[in-house]
Amino acid sequence: MKIAVIGTGYVGLVSGTCFAAWGHQVVCVDKDAQKIAGLKQAILPIYEPGLDELVEENMKAGRLGFTCNLAEALKGAAVVLIAVGTPARAGHGDADLSFVYMAARELAPHLEKGAVVTVKSTVPVGTGDVVEKIIGSIRPAGTFSVASNPEFLREGVAIRDFLEPDRVVIGVEDQRARKALMELYGPPLESRGTPIVVTRRRTSELIKYAANAFLATKITFINELADLCEEVGSDVGELALGMGLDKRIGSSFLNAGPGYGGSCFPKDTLALLRTAQDHGVALRLVEETVTANEARKRRMALKVMDALDGDVEGATIAVLGLTFKPDTDDMRDAPSVPLIETLQRFGANIRAYDPIGTENASRILSDVEFCHDAYECVRDADAVVVVTEWDSIRRLDLGRVKRAMRQAVLVDLRNAFSRGAAEELGFRVSAIGRPASARQETRGKYGLQAGDPRSHAGLGGGDNQAKGGRLE
């Protein structure tokens, strides 16, 4: 099947490449000539593990192409995917749909008869109706269809999520759209038994927002319980393990940390709230989730200050990890930003290290000394703060880190390190959801404990977003 993908951001580029890997003929189109020129040489505008190799492989096989010419991209295309950005509008919270509507207006004159225009961008309920009206003002009714097909990709593992999805959701209003999208997804997923949820277009649009709001709420829930654990002398890792083994709850998104960020959860929860307000519906849980998460990200700076006896004036703080989660260069709504800005307001000097995200972080943060090596970052520091649990950071030699520092203070906002091991080396440790002093770890009946990889919710697993962050 010939597919045209409008937009070459995270969603468009990953989706187009993976459809090509399934054997479809794909052309990705974008107005950014420099970006397209780079993509034609397999130079990607984003960091996503394994994507560069997959792009190059499918380009060589002749299944994947890139162009700035919209008419050329749509020629012969049976399905046209709109995968442009829908950022939150500044000061409003609702989604900015201008790029979606622009794409609809510009594609309409070039659309093949019978083509199915499918909105893959994350959009509020009713967006497909507007897209249909826009195209219908140019094309005769009945000569095209408009469908919804939200994405459920996680940055860092987006390729696997696309090729081996939990489910695929399609929203259609006619049999032509249903048939085309089932042909698009059906054959590659039949052997895996992947559920394909076919529903009305408006329900499909709402499913994405509802899923992200629920996951954001789950993260916020365990973060607030982590605060309680610190006060009553409990361990949030063990608490999450005990909760997560209940199949009704599950272990995903039960890893306490500094708050959620990224490209989807912050803007999607706000957009869902705005939609609910427009329809006179109160979503109190989501409202509290948004408020609590924003407050938490800034409160992490107070945790750092407490670790240094309440005063960071003139102190050098080494921040390890800047992106909102590992295996991405995405800095959108990253917890590191309000943490660093708050510490700077209290007079701290900030050094920072991230394996991939330094370039993007440097566009957002000012007066920060960016380092190219973690050990360089911690040299003569009064405290080291772990914000993003990259594998390379979790594998650091804590003994070497301690020897390089001025004061042996570790603030582990992802519970990336064994507290007991760090304290044995002489660190003063402040972690998330753990009592003030280390205690003997215990094993349960099945040998699982906080920190066991099988538990998915333990000492090395402060990874709310790595196993669940979404894309836009």
Q: Contact, 290 vs 251, CB < 8 A? A: no
Domain 2-199: assigned CATH number: 3.40.50.720
Give 7-34 pLDDT, tens digit per residue: 999 999 999 999 999 999 999 999 999 9
Q: What is the pLDDT of residue 437?
A: 61
Name the pairing type of β-strands 196-199 and 115-119: unpaired
Per-residue pLDDT of the chain (472 residues; tens, 9 = 90+): 999 999 999 999 999 999 999 999 999 999 999 999 999 999 999 999 999 999 999 999 999 999 999 999 999 999 999 999 998 887 667 889 999 999 999 999 999 999 999 999 999 999 999 999 999 999 999 999 999 999 999 999 999 999 999 999 999 999 999 999 999 998 999 888 999 999 999 999 999 999 999 999 999 999 999 999 999 999 999 999 999 999 999 999 999 999 999 988 999 999 999 999 999 999 999 999 999 999 999 899 999 999 999 999 999 999 999 999 999 999 999 999 999 999 999 999 999 999 999 999 999 999 999 999 999 999 999 999 999 999 999 999 999 999 999 999 999 999 999 999 999 999 999 999 998 764 434 433 334 445 443 343 333 333 334 333 434 3
Q: What is the 3-state secondary structure (H, E, C) of the chain?
A: CEEEEECCCHHHHHHHHHHHHCCCEEEEECCCHHHHHHHHCCCCCCCCCCHHHHHHHHHHCCCEEEECCHHHHHCCCCEEEECCCCCECCCCCCECCHHHHHHHHHHHHHCCCCEEEEECCCCCCCHHHHHHHHHHCCCCCCCEEEEECCCCCCCCCHHHHHHCCCCEEEECCCHHHHHHHHHHHHHHHHCCCCCEEEECHHHHHHHHHHHHHHHHHHHHHHHHHHHHHHHHCCCHHHHHHHHHCCCCCCCCCCCCCCCCCCCCHHHHHHHHHHHHHHCCCCCHHHHHHHHHHHHHHHHHHHHHHHHCCCCCCCCEEEEECCCCCCCCCCCCCCCHHHHHHHHHHCCCEEEEECCCCHHHHHCCCCCEEEECCHHHHHCCCCEEEECCCCHHHHCCCHHHHHHHCCCCEEEECCCCCCHHHHHHCCCEEEECCCCCCCCCCCCCCCCCCCCCHHHCCCCCCCCCCCCCCCCC
The reply to whether 232-455 shares the fold of 2-199 is yes
Q: Which fold has domain 232-455?
A: Rossmann fold (3.40.50)
Assigned token pair, 140: 């005769």
Q: Given the residues 18, 229, 264, 371, select the one marked as catalytic.
A: 264
What is the rounded distance in angstroms from the CA atom of residue 349 to the CA atom of residue 313?
8
C-alpha distances in Å from residue 371, one per residue of 319, 350, 362: 10, 11, 11
For the chain, domain boundaries: 2-199, 232-455
Q: Is 264 a catalytic residue?
A: yes
What is the rounded distance in angstroms from the CA atom of residue 330 to the CA atom of residue 322?
9
